Amino acid sequence: MTDLTHWINGKRVKGTSGRSADVFNPATGEVQARCPLASTAEVDAAIAGAQAAQPAWAATNPQRRARVLMKFVSLLNRDMDKLAEALSREHGKTLPDAAGDVQRGLEVVEYCIGAPHLLKGEFTDSAGPGIDMYSMRQPLGVTAGITPFNFPAMIPMWMFAPALACGNAFILKPSERDPSVPLMLAELMQEAGLPDGVLQVVNGDKEAVDALLHSDIVQSIGFVGSTPIAAYIYATGCANGKRVQCFGGAKNHMIVMPDADMDQAADALVGAGYGAAGERCMAISVAVPVGDETADRLISKLVPRIEKLKVGPYTAGNDVDFGPVVTAAAKANIERLVQSGVDQGAELVVDGRGFAMQGYEEGFFVGAHLFDRVTKDMDIYKTEIFGPVLSTVRAQTYEEAIGLAMDHEYGNGTAIFTRDGDTARDFANRINIGMVGVNVPIPVPLAYHTFGGWKKSVFGDLNQHGPDAFKFYTRTKTVTARWPSGIKEGGEFSIPVME
């Protein structure tokens, strides 16, 4: 049994609240660590340390801050296997998937190395007689992020890398379900040369979250998780005068046109629907074939692929397709929703109920499920299941198919598979969803573009990473300066106007 810590002012610090959460090995169901849950006083102390450290870090020129991130990238590559193993042990992902989690965070750090260019302001000389005007992008101060269990490496780096590159201090409140990798990332940042206190990691639950939300020192909050909590954090943070960006739930549709390459579409759906046991906000959970003939062809391609999926612990090798879900509660919720689909009349084509793995009977494994003839009124269609469950909703026309995605309350990601450029172009232009794939099932943008959904999948007006991150973590200050060329007498008492 391991007792985990916080990371405060450049070192691991034991919790003092007397409260903790169990960290499970999802493959065995065993408790492998205890994670301290911070009190408000502990969070306040971390914030105070960050506030003390931030001015000197902000005064460090952007190029030197970028060099710390450059070294951090080198250390991430050095420790990639160690980070992936720790991530898999607490989350349940396969090792290749865990390494991908780290890699997609690393790519954002690489982008942030360009901070000296990205932080450049604007300048106008001779805006008036002897007057110059210029703008500066300056850090907010102390910023914070609340990150989910499903990407314990990637999403923390999506937040703290741009925040630090801009000269802010950052308080990270990671998920208490898999907190080891965030602590390891903080250690690597210190090894890279980050000054003590600039990055703090505080483990906790709602008490820690509320302490961040109500702190007068914390200037911004980032969040990724469920929509109800995103709405709460957004409303509370904004009411307290903070800049807030929150990313919530998803129900991602993939439309399959009659002219699509059906093998390609089936392969894409299996990877996007069942990878990471479906615990991705960009997972495809709804397939929408257009026409019954298309649906029948697609189902016939999907079934044998799904039945061949290899489920197991990350220790079983790199050919495992997906592992367990993160907790027993998550498993129970998935099984409840699957049963609701059966009860409400959906056709369970691939039945993963009762899946058990020899030697891992206490693990949180869930078998792969495929539903056909799902309708809009069913719970499995309306709810984000966050498990290895793919629902097929048959549409008779393209207009009906696109309407399904557009009418759903979530708008995170979507995709269309077709050989027709006009259809793809129409889909990309009309769809009211933030990230769109054309023959790409999981359209997560690369680091130099921005990531973000629409509708109830997002709260706030700026996306994650890319140029938006540098807008989110800075304020613009505009300076108007006059340097008279000669001695001027008298004052001016009317508002200056252009002559």
Residues known to be catalytic:
281
Q: Let me know: does 189 contact 74? Beta carbons within 8 Å.
A: no
Q: What are the distances in angstroms from CA 292 to CA 264, 299, 395? A: 19, 10, 8
DSSP helix/strand/coil, 136: strand
Q: In what order do the strands lie in the sheet with 30-36?
A: 2-3, 30-36, 20-25
C-alpha to C-alpha distances, 478 to 123, 370, 448, 481, nearest whole angstrom: 9, 56, 26, 10
CA distance readout (Å), 278 to 18, 30, 66, 91, 324: 34, 22, 35, 13, 10
Strand-pair category, 474-482 with 131-139? antiparallel
**Separation CA 158–CA 161 (nearest Å):** 6
Instruction: Give CA–CA dist 46/115, Å, rounded.
Output: 26
Cα–Cα dist 263/444, whole Å:
22
Nearest C-alpha neighbor of 30 from the set 367, 387, 313, 316: 313
What 3-state class would DSSP assign to 39? Answer: coil
Long-range contacts of 122-127 (CB under 8 A, 24+ apart): 127/480
Distance CA 181, CA 163 (A): 19
CA distances from 122 to 118, 140, 447 (A): 11, 19, 24
- The answer to whether 371 and 392 have CB atoms below 8 angstroms apart is yes
Sole residue written with tokens 């309306």: 382
